[in-house]
Structure 1
Amino acid sequence: MDLQDYVNHFDSMTCIISVEKKSDGSYGKIRIEVGNPAYVASFDKANAPIAMKDENGFVPGCEYTTYLPKDLNFEHFVVASAVNKKPMHAYIHPDRFPIWFNIFSLPLNIDDPDKYYCTYTQELSTEANTEQMTNLSAKATSQVLQTCIKLRSSTNFLKTMDEIIHDIRTACEASYCCVMLTDFKERTCSLLSEDIAVGVPQHSLKNFLDDSFIEYAESWLKTIDGSNCLVIQDENDMKEVKLRNPNWYRSLKSAEVESLVLFPLQYNSETVGFIWATNFDTKDTDRIKETLELTTFFIASEIANYQLLQRLEMLSSTDLLTGVLNRNAMNNRVLRIVTGRERKPESIGIVFADLNGLKPVNDKEGHNAGDCLLKEAALILKLSFEGCEIYRAGGDEFVIIALDKPRKEIESRVEKIRKDSADPQNVSFAVGFYYDDKGGDIRVAMREADALMYEDKKQYYDRFPELRRK
């Protein structure tokens, strides 16, 4: 077959790609054998819609990596068509390009003992085409639609995300599926939801999240290298990860991960998180990738809306004088926990800290002096209970909520406050501390801590009756 004559019959940008056959059944080098005039013109530096690595224009028969970075997704796509003889279609927006790609590939039956062949046709556009985005198989469409319905009808975002992640893990036949949120400006990441298959000895991601994990997540973006996702199907793919990101490779190996599909969650050109599934059914890779490409679009949008509402709530929940959270924020926090809108904590630590001596300062030195004392008290509590939630419940009363913190850690902080408060020359607090290591009812814990605080205040005024409120 005259490949050049054949490809010239296509009007759209089209080339013919070859995949090298290997004796062990695997594939080798992937080459762009020939291109039609429209395809070759795209390599002209002056008119090219996308930037190429090689500035010398198109040369028939070169490896694709002459022009583009090595891309596992591209390789999976052409191997599925050329080697596995499957007609392929994808509609994608790789981060490395400012355009959308509508891609088609058809297998070619060419008698060549050394190579497989396929056509590769691409249409480019600067704007997303919703019709193409939703051009999915029936099974993928059904799964995406189920996700959309659950997201839009949800009254409990966290619970709904748990259901969706369970559905995705089940559909992928994966051992593990997870959504992790990221904030690269604040250098933080957090677990939103995860689902683990029954009988799989998988540790929760939250056991590994610390201040440095955001750097680890950042390295994933470098490994993906401008593509829209990363799919690892076999040991050959793992070797590429080992080359690009050795630390991640070692981590995957130690966790006995044999296959992985990972998508950055993008919203308004920002990465708001990642979703991934491990040890999935690699026989169904094309459908899984097709489903997640659109599903992640909706999940990222809902996450962004959820985070926006949280930020707006935070703006309306700060005590303007002290900078800590206000009573409204505390009530909302407690309500979310009690009603199940937030996950029930494994342990609850509550500290009530009532500022001693505020009234005498207000009476003798004026309210400006009293305000300064409140600000100083709030600063002490923020420094003493770093990593906990600090609220000004009203007047001179502060509440610290410490969820899933070790008892000894909170006890030592409380004892430090008590020791400092024993000296009336210091900023002094009456303190009540209650801890429930079973994660019981937070309202009960708050009542107990409040009662203990009043006992401590009574003892303080018994020691210093001249400071008693009048």
Structure 2
Amino acid sequence: MDFQGYVNLVNKACCVMSIKKDKDDIGEIRIVCANDMYKKSMGEDRYHDNMLYSDLVPKDRKFDQFVYDTAIEGKPRHTYVETKALESWTDMILIPLVQDEEYGYCQFMFEFTKDPDPDRLANVNIDTAAEVIKNCAIFRSADNFLVALSSVTENLRKKSDAERCVVIGLQEEIKKVSVLSESIMDGYKPMREILPTIPYEVVTSWIDTVGDSNCVIVSTEADMVALEKRNPEWVKSLRHEEVYSICFYPMFQNQRPIGYLYVVNFDTMRLAEIKELIELTSFFTTSELITYNLMKKLEDMSSLDMLTGVANRNAMNNRVDQFVVDANLSHTPYGVVYIDLNGLKRVNDRYGHEAGDQMLLNGAQIITEVFRGDEVYRAGGDEFTVISFSNEEEFYAKVERLRDKMSYPNDITCAAGSYYAPIGGDIRKAMSIADAAMYLDKEVFYEEHPELKSR
């Protein structure tokens, strides 16, 4: 067959690719010939006929599988994917051609776009389109991102005939990874139990393993061996959890990873369809996750005291409102502590506000340590409030421990007033009683140490 004459008739970048038939693995893939548009797109000075495609662009196991499916199995393929190595999106079409005893051949056409094209993204098979639209509708109609994400992961797992579908959130700035959502078949160990056993360095290495590709796909043992060469620790954990196939997509915001979406032990006979489904869903899930992270950050900023890291007065007021409207909460035994650091104004006046800020930070750390597991709020200035659901004996033991740690002559001292409501009740009244007790304690302190009182 006149391959060169054939590609010259095509008005898009086009080449003919050959793949060597190999019973054990996907054989070597070469570019038999190409038209002028292909050579110009890829760099005429770098191209020559019958070259290994991997000498022109980075080798990609997913692309290898596509060529194999088309040239050897005779299955036409179309996909529109982000090609990170070329900093573009690529619309690819592969069409089967003839075979001989040693090689299979296919026509490969492509077109680059700098940014994702919505029309091309929508150009998928009808079943995939229906699933993607369904998942988008779930996100758009839900009031709670995590609830919606749970439904989406369930849909993806079932559609992929997978053992599990997982979405992991990644916060690089605080080195935290967490399972945002997962759907698993009955009888399998949840990822929430597996993830804590995987070192953080292994989790972050997944991004480097993806490299210039946009995903990691393992559908055969040969794929797993190839992945093992690049990331042995990851494959070690995969084999330990009896993973034999995975379709894995990272999610990015401004070139930084914010999470992963993947399915495990899926129907590998439907690889192309499942890859397309997971890829498109990850595209929309990324957008939703970015919005969720932003809203959560804004919520944290509105409820956290930026200096000390404990909850702020706004969060305390919201908590009090919850007690007022929630009958079950208001009838739960609880304790309240009002704490006022002694001498903050004196420190500010003598040593400056930086020293005063450090005093507040150190005081908050002591309070948080003593009342570990309880709710600690900075009510304002040098005042802190604690709401505790410990039993009465444990509650007062904590109050005494606080007095030991923050009594004269310790570097940081405080006045404290407490009240325990054994059957619950009006928290506003309990806070008022604790506040009054705190002021009495402060008066006693300055009577005993008048030299420490600010003038």
Name the TM tier (shorter chain).
0.7 to 0.9
Contact 1:266 1:297 in 2 (8 A): no
Residue 101 of structure 1, CA deviation: 0.7
**Counterpart check, 1:81 vs 2:70:** yes
Q: Assess, with a 3 A threshold, how the Cα gap between structure 1 residues 256 and 321 changes in structure 2: closer, same or farther.
A: closer
2:286 alignment partner in structure 1: 300
For 1:78-117, what aligned pairs fall within 5 Å after superposition? 78-110=67-99, 112-117=100-105
Contact 1:319–1:325, Cα closer than 8 Å, also in 2: yes
User: How far apart, CA to CA, are the structure 2 residues paired with 1:209 and 1:28?
Assistant: 37
Q: Hey, what's the Cα distance between the residues in 2 that align with 1:229 and 1:260?
A: 10
Residue type of the alignment partner of 1:354: Y
For 2:257, the equivalent position in structure 1 comes to 271
Give the alignment of 1:365-384 within 5 angstroms. 376-382=359-365
RMSD: 4.3
Cα distance change of structure 1 residues 263 and 463 upon mapping to structure 2, 3 Å threshold: same
Per-residue Cα deviation, 1:268-321 (whole angstroms, up to 9, x for no partner): 433221111111111221111111222111111111111112222333334477
Question: Aligned partners of 1:194, 1:183: CA distance in 2, in Å?
Answer: 18
Identity of matched residues, %: 32
Per-residue CA deviation, residues 63-98 of structure 1 (Å, 9 max, x unaligned), is 222222221111121112112211110111122222
Scaled by the length of structure 2, what TM-score is found? Answer: 0.79
Higher deviation after alignment, 412-421 or 226-235: 412-421
The whole-number CA distance in structure 2 between the counterparts of 1:42 and 1:32 is 14
Measured at CA, do residues 23 and 272 of structure 1 come closer, stay the same or move farther in structure 2, by a change above 3 Å? closer
DSSP 3-state at the match of 2:143: coil
Task: Pick the structure with greater CA Rg.
Answer: 2
TM-score by structure 1 length?
A: 0.77
Deviation at 1:396, TM superposition (A): 5.6
Greater shift in the superposed pair: 308-317 or 230-239: 308-317
AA at the equivalent of 2:339? L
Say if 2:338 and 2:386, in contact at 8 Å, map to a contact too.
no
Q: 1:414-425, aligned counterparts within 5 Å?
A: 417-421=402-406, 423=408, 425=410
Matched, 1:127 2:115: yes
Q: Which residue of 1 aligns with 2:329?
A: none
- Change in Cα spacing, 1:413 to 1:137, as seen in structure 2 (3 Å) is farther
Letter in 1 for 2:301: L
Shift of 1:322: 5.2
Equivalent pair of 1:322/1:375 in contact (CA under 8 Å): no
**Secondary structure of the corresponding residue to residue 236 of structure 2:** helix
Which of 61, 64, 67 aligns to 1:72? It is 61
Question: Shift of the alpha carbon at 1:104?
Answer: 0.3
Encode CA deviations 1:362-382: one digit per residue, 9 max, x unaligned.
8x9699699977862442333
SS of alignment partner, residue 303 of structure 2? coil
| Aligned match of 2:9 | 9
Deviation digits for residues 218-273 of structure 1 (CA, Å, limit 9, x no counterpart): 31121111111111101011011110011111111111111111111123433221
Give unmatched runs, 5+ long, in structure 2. Answer: 326-333, 390-394, 450-455
**Does the CA-based 8 Å contact 1:352-1:397 persist in structure 2?**
no
Question: Please, which of 339, 342, 350 is the counterpart of residue 355 of structure 1?
Answer: 339
Give ranges in structure 1 of 5+ residues lacking alignment: 46-55, 340-349, 404-409, 435-442
Equivalences for 1:195-274 in 2 at 5 Å? 195-204=183-192, 207-208=195-196, 213=200, 215-274=201-260
**How far is the alpha carbon of 1:197 from its aligned partner?**
1.5
Q: How many residues of Structure 1 are paired with residues of Structure 2 in the alignment?
A: 429
Shift of 1:459: 12
Structure-1 separation of matches of 2:386 and 2:191 = 30
User: Per the alignment, in what secondary structure is the counterpart of residue 302 of structure 1?
Assistant: helix
Tell me which protein shows more helix as a share of its residues. Answer: 2
| SS of structure 1 residue aligned to 2:83 | coil
Q: Aligned equivalents of 1:76 and 1:333: distance in 2?
A: 55
Matches within 5 A, 1:406-421: 417-421=402-406
